[in-house]
Amino acid sequence: MNRMFADHTGDPMIIAALHLPDLSTASDTSMAFLEDYVLANTEVFTGAGIRRIMLQDQTRRRGAATPQTVAITSALGRVMKRQFPDLTLGIIVQAHDAVAPLAIAHASGADFVRLKVFVGAAMTMEGSREALAVEARTYRHQIRRDDIAILADVFDRTSVPLIDVPPEEAAVAAVKLGADALVLTGSSFADSLDRIAKAKRAGVKRPILLGGSVTADNVAEALATADGAIVSTSLMRKDAAPGDLLLWDADKSRAFMDRALAALPA
């Protein structure tokens, strides 16, 4: 079993998204700052009991990820794994790229990647995007890293599907095309739960994570339907200013995990 799912058994499958600055508009940000930034915020998450963190590149790019994105994100991932060896680390890049996240994961020692348009095709605010599934699975096998789990989004709420297929059918297809887990996010929290329930009824046996709008107030409800959740915005400091080293709140993170742990079956 991939360590994404084997590690930390007995705790809820919560993934905290640690967003990097958009390096297309913050290219003067130093590596020293970025290293301090990821370590400081990783400390917040791990101190709260969150053991799975996704390092999220947000560099805007029409084509594939830039060499700078690959190099910087790989280096930061290795720093995180070195400082927090028990951390289960994930990678996501803003660019629509099947190869870069897996290459970064391979170089940094990360355990999983998240791919936003895995099946079908979608129109996003940045243009149209086509399925990454075949290229991603092929490349993962080429580098002999089938142990890197693929978390596949199915009809993410930030895009409009260009194929007329119900989300639950697309979810089944994503599993057939190599997804190790799915991320489902509807137009609202209730819609997300409905999509997850329908995907499970359609026969999806792989873990399904809720991809957005999860808070301390609704995490118990989320985990009653989903197998896990991705969280970030609801744990951020309200008083954080642009350029601050610390963006996530330790108290909010601990309160969130307390609620998540309380939701586990006795």
Are residues 246 and 19 in contact, defined by beta-carbon separation less than 8 angstroms? no
CA distance 86 to 6: 12
Per-residue pLDDT of the chain (266 residues), as tens digits, is 566 666 545 678 999 999 999 988 877 889 999 999 999 999 999 999 999 999 999 998 888 999 999 999 999 999 999 999 999 999 999 999 999 999 999 999 999 999 999 998 877 767 788 889 999 999 999 999 999 999 999 988 777 877 888 999 999 999 999 999 999 999 899 999 999 999 999 999 999 999 989 999 999 999 999 999 999 999 999 999 888 999 999 999 999 999 999 988 76
Cα 73 to Cα 54: distance, rounded to the nearest angstrom: 11
> Domains along the chain?
3-262 (3.20.20.70)
3 state SS of 155? coil
Dihedral of the alpha carbons of 180, 186, 189, 191, in degrees to the nearest 10: -110
The backbone torsions φ and ψ at residue 29, rounded to the nearest 5 degrees and listed phi first, read: -65, 130
Helix axes 167-176, 189-201, angle to 10 degrees: 60
Q: What are phi and psi of 153, to 5 degrees?
A: -75, 145
From the CA atom positions of the chain, what is the Rg in Å?
A: 17
d(C-alpha 120, C-alpha 174), whole Å:
9
